[in-house]
Amino acid sequence: MKRRKFDLAATPGKAAVGVDDRFAVATPLRKLLNKVFPDHWSFLLGEIALFSFVVLLLTGVFLTFFFEPAMTEVVYDGSYAPLQGTPMSAAYASSLDISFDVRGGLVMRQMHHWAALLFMAAIVVHMLRVFFTGAFRKPRETNWIIGSLLFWVGFLAGFTGYSLPDDGLSGTGLRIASAIMLSIPVIGSWVTSSVFGGEFPGTIIISRFFIAHVLLIPGLLVALISVHLGLVFKQKHTQWPGPGRTNNNVVGERMFPRYALKQGGFFMVVFGVIALMGGLFQINPIWLFGPYEAWVVSAASQPDWYVMFLDGSTRLMPAWEIPIPIGDGYVIPPLFWPTVVLPGILVGLSTMYPFLEARQLKDRKSHNLLERPRDAPARTAVGAMAVAFYVVLTLSGANDVIADKFQISLNAMTWAGRIGLLVVPPLAYYVTYRLCLGLQQHDREVLAHGVETGIIRRMPDGRFVEVHQPLSASNGHADGYGQLDYVGWVVPKKMNRLGALGPAIRGFFYPIEKPVEAPVSPGHPPVEARPEREEITSGESRR
Amino acid sequence: MTSDNDRRRGLLARLRERPAARSRGRRRLGAAVRLIAALMLAGGAYTVFAPGAQAQDNPQLTGAAAEGKALFDVSCVTCHGRNAQGVEGRGPSLIGVGAASVEFQVSSGRMPLARQEAQAHRKPPLFTDEQTRQLAQYIQELGGGPVVPDGDDLHEDGNIASGGELFRINCSQCHAFGGGGGALSSGKFAPSLRPATDRQIYAAMLSGPQNMPVFGDNQLRPEQKADIIAYIQETLKHDQDPGGFNLGRYGPSTEGLAIFLVGIVALVFASLWIAGKS
Could you report the per-residue pLDDT of A19-28, keeping only the tens digit for each?
999 999 888 8
Residues A101, A120 contacting (CB under 8 angstroms): no
Mean pLDDT of all residues in A189-216? 94
Dihedral sign, Cα of residue B103, residue B108, residue B113, residue B118: negative
Closest by alpha carbon to B127, among B139, B141, B116, B111?
A: B111
Residues of B in contact with A262 (CB under 8 A): 274, 277
Q: How many domains does chain A have?
A: 1
Q: B171 and B116 in one domain?
A: no
Residues A383, A132 contacting (CB under 8 angstroms): yes
Q: B236 and B165 in one domain?
A: yes
Dihedral sign, Cα of residue A319, residue A323, residue A329, residue A333: negative
Question: 205-244 in B: which are within 8 Å (CB) of A?
Answer: 231, 234-236, 239, 241-244
Mean pLDDT of all residues in A264-292? 95
Judge whether B97 lies within some domain.
Answer: yes
Q: Is the pLDDT of residue A185 over 80?
A: yes
Residues A130, A299 contacting (CB under 8 angstroms): no
Closest by alpha carbon to B251, among B171, B163, B160, B180?
A: B180
Comparing A515 with B165, which gets the higher pLDDT? Answer: B165
Q: Residue A530 to residues A490, A492, A503, A504, A534: CA-CA distances in angstroms?
A: 18, 17, 11, 12, 12
**Rounded CA separation A121/A127 (Å):** 10
Q: What is the pLDDT of residue B20?
A: 54
CATH code at position A229: 1.20.810.10
DSSP state of A254: E
Q: B164 and B130 in one domain?
A: no
Residue count of chain A, please give it. 543
Q: B237 and B166 in one domain?
A: yes
The one-letter code for the residue type at A170 is S
The one-letter code for the residue type at A146 is I
- Using alpha carbons only, what angle is made at residue A299 by residues A202 and B248, rounded to the nearest 5 degrees? 120
Residues of A in contact with B173 (CB under 8 A): 297-299
Q: B171 and B128 in one domain?
A: no
Q: Residue A405 to residues B168, B181, B187, B235: CA-CA distances in angstroms?
A: 21, 9, 11, 22
Judge whether B274 lies within some domain.
Answer: no
Q: What is the pLDDT of residue B166?
A: 95
- Domain carrying residue B238: 160-242
Mean pLDDT of all residues in A494-511? 62
Q: Residue B115 to residues B111, B190, B269: CA-CA distances in angstroms?
A: 10, 18, 48
Residues B182, B175 contacting (CB under 8 angstroms): yes
Comparing A82 with B48, which gets the higher pLDDT? Answer: A82
Judge whether A490 lies within some domain.
Answer: no
The one-letter code for the residue type at B69 is K
A265 touches chain B (CB under 8 A): yes
Q: How many domains does chain B have?
A: 2
- How far apart are the CA of B176 and the nearest CA of chain A, in angstroms? 4
Q: Cis omega before residue A526 (within 30°)? A: no
The residue of B177, B186, B233, B261 whose CB has the most chain A CBs within 10 angstroms, and thus the best one to mutate to test that interface, is B177
Comparing B277 with B262, which gets the higher pLDDT? Answer: B262
Number of CB pairs, chain A paired with chain B, less than 8 A apart: 220
Q: What is the pLDDT of residue A529?
A: 64
| Cβ burial, residue A31 (10 Å; 0-12/13-18/19+) | middle
Q: Is A300's CB within 8 Å of B182's CB?
A: yes
What average pLDDT does the structure give for chain A?
A: 89
| CB atoms closer than 10 angstroms to residue A118 | 28
Directed axis angle between helix A141-163 and helix A342-361, to 10°? Answer: 170
Judge whether B250 lies within some domain.
Answer: no
Closest by alpha carbon to A67, among A26, A125, A15, A109?
A: A109
A279 touches chain B (CB under 8 A): yes
In A, minimum Cα distance to B188 occurs at: A409
Banded pLDDT at A516 (limits 50, 70, 90): low
> Which member of B186, B231, B270 has the closest CB to residue A409?
B186
Share of chain A above pLDDT 90, in %: 70
Q: What is the pLDDT of residue A256?
A: 84
Alpha carbon B95 to its chain centroid, in Å, reads: 14
Judge whether A257 lies within some domain.
Answer: yes
Judge whether B194 lies within some domain.
Answer: yes
- How far apart are the CA of B2 and the nearest CA of chain A, in angstroms? 34
Q: B194 and B120 in one domain?
A: no
Banded pLDDT at A542 (limits 50, 70, 90): very low
Judge whether B102 lies within some domain.
Answer: yes
CATH code at position B175: 1.10.760.10
Which segment, A375-384, A488-497, A504-513, is predicted with the most confidence on average? A375-384
Residues B139, B209 contacting (CB under 8 angstroms): no
Q: What is the pLDDT of residue B2?
A: 45
User: Does an H or E element contain A454, and which?
Assistant: strand A451-458
Judge whether A305 lies within some domain.
Answer: yes
Q: What is chain A's alpha carbon radius of gyration, rounded to the nearest angstrom?
A: 29
Contacts of A315 by beta carbon, 8 Å cutoff, 6+ apart: A396, A397, A399, A414, A417
Judge whether B193 lies within some domain.
Answer: yes
User: What counts of helices (H) and strands (E) characterise chain A?
Assistant: 18, 8
A284 touches chain B (CB under 8 A): yes
Mean pLDDT of all residues in A489-499? 78
> Which member of B118, B181, B241 has the closest CB to residue A282?
B241
In A, minimum Cα distance to B253 occurs at: A398
SS3 A338: helix
User: Does an H or E element contain A42, and which?
Assistant: none
Mean pLDDT of all residues in A111-137? 96
Judge whether B152 lies within some domain.
Answer: no
Judge whether A266 lies within some domain.
Answer: yes
Comparing B236 with A393, which gets the higher pLDDT? Answer: A393
Residues of A in contact with B183 (CB under 8 A): 299, 400-401, 403-404, 410, 413
A269 touches chain B (CB under 8 A): yes
A288 touches chain B (CB under 8 A): yes
Q: What is the pLDDT of residue A183?
A: 93
Mean pLDDT of all residues in B220-242? 90
In degrees rounded to 5, what are phi and psi of residue A32? Answer: -65, -45
Q: Is the pLDDT of residue A515 over 60?
A: no
Residues B180, B76 contacting (CB under 8 angstroms): no
- Domain carrying residue A158: 39-240+252-348
Q: B84 and B135 in one domain?
A: yes
A391 touches chain B (CB under 8 A): no
Mean pLDDT of all residues in A382-391? 97
**Rounded CA separation A199/B99 (Å):** 48
The one-letter code for the residue type at B268 is V
- How far apart are the CA of B145 and the nearest CA of chain A, in angstroms? 31
Q: Is A404's CB within 8 Å of B272's CB?
A: no
Q: Is the pLDDT of residue B134 over 90?
A: yes
Q: B137 and B67 in one domain?
A: yes
Q: B139 and B67 in one domain?
A: yes
Judge whether B4 lies within some domain.
Answer: no
**Rounded CA separation A537/A490 (Å):** 25
HSE (side-chain half, CA atoms, 13 Å) at A184: 15
Q: B238 and B213 in one domain?
A: yes
Q: Cis omega before residue A201 (within 30°)? A: yes
Q: Residue A230 to residues A221, A223, A225, A256: CA-CA distances in angstroms?
A: 14, 10, 8, 17
Judge whether A101 lies within some domain.
Answer: yes
Residues A498, A469 contacting (CB under 8 angstroms): yes
Judge whether A373 lies within some domain.
Answer: no
Residues A467, A457 contacting (CB under 8 angstroms): yes
Between A107-111, A144-148, B40-44, the lowest mean confidence (pLDDT) is in B40-44
Q: B134 and B189 in one domain?
A: no
Banded pLDDT at B1 (limits 50, 70, 90): very low
In degrees rounded to 5, what are phi and psi of residue A331? Answer: -130, 130
**Rounded CA separation A159/A165 (Å):** 12
Q: Is the pLDDT of residue B8 over 90?
A: no
Q: Is the pLDDT of residue B117 over 90?
A: no
Banded pLDDT at B224 (limits 50, 70, 90): very high
Residues A388, A426 contacting (CB under 8 angstroms): no
What average pLDDT does the structure give for chain B?
A: 86
| CB atoms closer than 10 angstroms to residue B265 | 12
Q: What is the pLDDT of residue A483?
A: 73
**Rounded CA separation B178/A290 (Å):** 11
Q: What is the pLDDT of residue B89?
A: 86
Question: 340-369 in A: which are within 8 Å (CB) of B?
Answer: none
- How far apart are the CA of A301 and the nearest CA of chain B, in angstroms? 7
Residues B194, B140 contacting (CB under 8 angstroms): no
Which segment, A27-31, A426-430, B5-9, B242-246, is predicted with the most confidence on average? A426-430
User: What counts of helices (H) and strands (E) characterise chain B?
Assistant: 13, 2
Q: Is the pLDDT of residue A416 over 90?
A: yes
Banded pLDDT at A501 (limits 50, 70, 90): low
A406 touches chain B (CB under 8 A): no
Between A145-149, A232-236, A474-478, B179-183, the lowest mean confidence (pLDDT) is in A474-478
Q: B191 and B128 in one domain?
A: no
Mean pLDDT of all residues in B219-228? 94
Q: What is the pLDDT of residue B240?
A: 77
**Rounded CA separation A314/B58 (Å):** 58
Helix, strand, coil percent values for chain B (each to nearest 5) = 60, 5, 40
Judge whether A215 lies within some domain.
Answer: yes
Closest by alpha carbon to B161, among A500, A444, A513, A96?
A: A96
Between A105-114, A150-159, A470-479, the lowest mean confidence (pLDDT) is in A470-479
Judge whether A48 lies within some domain.
Answer: yes
Question: 520-539 in A: which are within 8 Å (CB) of B?
Answer: none
Q: Is the pLDDT of residue A502 over 60?
A: no
Banded pLDDT at A86 (limits 50, 70, 90): very high
